[in-house]
Amino acid sequence: MPPRSRLLLLPLSALLLILAAAMPIPSAAAWQGDDEGETMVADPADPAATNLGETAKKKTQGLIGLLFAGDPAGIFLSFLIMSLSVVGVYFAIEHALTITKGKLMPEDVLAELEQRIARGEIDQAIDYCHQPENYSLVSEVILAGLERYRSSEFGFAEYKTAVEEAGEDVTGRLYRKTEVLNVIGQIAPMLGLTGTVLGMISAFMMIAEKQGMAKPEELAGGIGEALITTLLGLMVAIPSLVALSYFRNKIDSLVAEAGKRVERTLLPLGRKRA
C-alpha cells in the first residue's frame, strides 16, 4: 500500500488503539451491596431468594463508557485528549515513514552525484539536484555546496561553509517537524490535570449540596471524571514523549552519517581551480 494510502488509515488506527486500551473496570454501582460488591436481587419465581440472596453479576464498563459519567466540561476534555492521541499517532507514523535513511539519503542519488562531481560535471550535478524526484536531505546540502562552488571565484575554499549552513537548516527543520509530539506530550497531562480538578470540584460540590450525606453513586460522576481524564492524559503523553526521544535520536544518527557522506561526495571540489 502506498504511504499516502496508509496515512489515510491513521485516524482509524488511533481510535482502535483507544478502544483496545479501554479495559473493563468495575462501575460505582458494582461496589455497592451487602457482601463486598455483591448485591441481593429478588427472584420473582423464588420468594425465598429475597432472604437468602443471590450473587449478582458485577456490572462493568470500559473507559469509553465512563467518559460520559462526568459533566460536559469533563467529556469535552476527554474527547480533546483523544483527539490529541489521533494527531500523535498520525505524526508518529508519518515520521516513521519519512525519517529514514532511504528517504533522507537515497543511495541511487548519492551514487549519481558522486560520479558527476568526480568527472567535474558541476552544472549537470546541479541540474540533477534541482529535479524534484531527486530531492532529499543530502541533495539539498550538496546543491548548496555546488552552487557556492560555481558562483564564487574561490568556491573551492567556500563551499564547506555553504554545506554547513545548509546542513544546519535541514537539521533544524527535521527537529521542528518532531516538535508536534513534544507539544502533545506536554499538553495532554495538563488537560488531564484540568479534568481532575474539575471532577474533584464537582464531587465536593455534590457533598456540599447533600450536606455531607451524598451517596457513592452521586459522587461517581465527578470522581470518575477526575480519574479518567488523568489516565487518558498519561496514556497520550507517555507514548508521545517516547516517540519524540526515539525520532530525535534517529535524526542525530542520520544527520551525522549524512555529513560524512556529503563530505566524501564533495571531496573533489577541494582542489583549487586552475
pLDDT of residue 47 exceeding 90, the answer is no
All residues at 6 or more sequence positions from 125 whose CB lies less than 8 Å from its CB, including other chains: 113, 116, 117, 142, 146
Q: What is the number of domains present in the chain?
A: 2
User: What's the rounded Cα separation, in Å, for the pair 101 and 94?
Assistant: 14
Q: What is the pLDDT averaged over residues 206-235?
A: 70
150 shares its domain with 254:
yes
Name which residue leads in pLDDT, 262 or 31: 262
Q: Which pLDDT band holds residue 176 (cuts at 50, 70, 90)?
A: very high
18 shares its domain with 29:
no
124 shares its domain with 201:
yes
153 shares its domain with 90:
yes
213 shares its domain with 229:
yes
- pLDDT value for 215: 65
Name which residue leads in pLDDT, 81 or 19: 81
| Among the ranges given (28-37, 110-119, 257-266), the one the predictor scored with the smallest mean pLDDT | 28-37
Of residues 101, 119, 251, the one with CA closest to residue 179: 251
Name which residue leads in pLDDT, 108 or 158: 108
pLDDT of residue 4 exceeding 60, the answer is no
Please check whether residue 221 is in contact with residue 100, taking contact to mean a CB–CB distance below 8 angstroms: no
pLDDT of residue 125 exceeding 70, the answer is yes
- pLDDT value for 214: 62
Average pLDDT, the chain: 74
Q: What is the pLDDT averaged over residues 81-96?
A: 93
179 shares its domain with 57:
no
Please check whether residue 160 is in contact with residue 142, taking contact to mean a CB–CB distance below 8 angstroms: no
H or E element at residue 61: strand 60-61
Q: What is the pLDDT averaged over residues 47-70?
A: 46
User: What's the rounded Cα separation, in Å, for the pair 121 and 97?
Assistant: 33
29 shares its domain with 19:
no
- pLDDT value for 87: 94
Among the candidates 61, 86, 107, a domain finishes at 61
Assign 3-class secondary structure to 20-46. HHCCCEECHHHHCCCECCECCCCECCE
214 shares its domain with 244:
yes
pLDDT of residue 274 exceeding 50, the answer is no
Structural domain of residue 172, as residue ranges?
A: 1-23+64-274
Has this prediction a pTM greater than 0.85?
A: no
Cα angle 80-82-85, degrees, rounded to a multiple of 5: 115
- pLDDT value for 154: 64
pLDDT of residue 259 exceeding 60, the answer is yes
Q: What is the pLDDT averaged over residues 70-79?
A: 76
Name which residue leads in pLDDT, 168 or 9: 168
Q: What is the pLDDT averaged over residues 149-157?
A: 72
- pLDDT value for 168: 92
- pLDDT value for 228: 79
Name which residue leads in pLDDT, 244 or 62: 244
Of residues 265, 201, 243, the one with CA closest to residue 90: 243
DSSP letter for 78, please: H
35 shares its domain with 89:
no
120 shares its domain with 19:
yes
User: What's the rounded Cα separation, in Å, for the pair 196 and 44?
Assistant: 43
State what percent of residues in the chain have pLDDT above 90. Answer: 34
User: What's the rounded Cα separation, in Å, for the pair 182 and 189?
Assistant: 12
- Classified as helix, coil or strand, 119 is coil
How many residues are present in the chain? 274
User: What's the rounded Cα separation, in Å, for the pair 124 and 134?
Assistant: 13
Residue 131 CB: number of other CB atoms within 10 A?
Answer: 10
152 shares its domain with 192:
yes
pLDDT of residue 144 exceeding 50, the answer is yes
- Classified as helix, coil or strand, 133 is helix
- For the chain, the helix, strand and coil percentages under 3-state DSSP, each to the nearest 5: 75, 5, 20
78 shares its domain with 52:
no
Cα angle 215-217-222, degrees, rounded to a multiple of 5: 105
Tell me phi and psi for residue 90, to 5 degrees.
Answer: -60, -50
| Among the ranges given (86-90, 136-140, 157-161), the one the predictor scored with the smallest mean pLDDT | 157-161
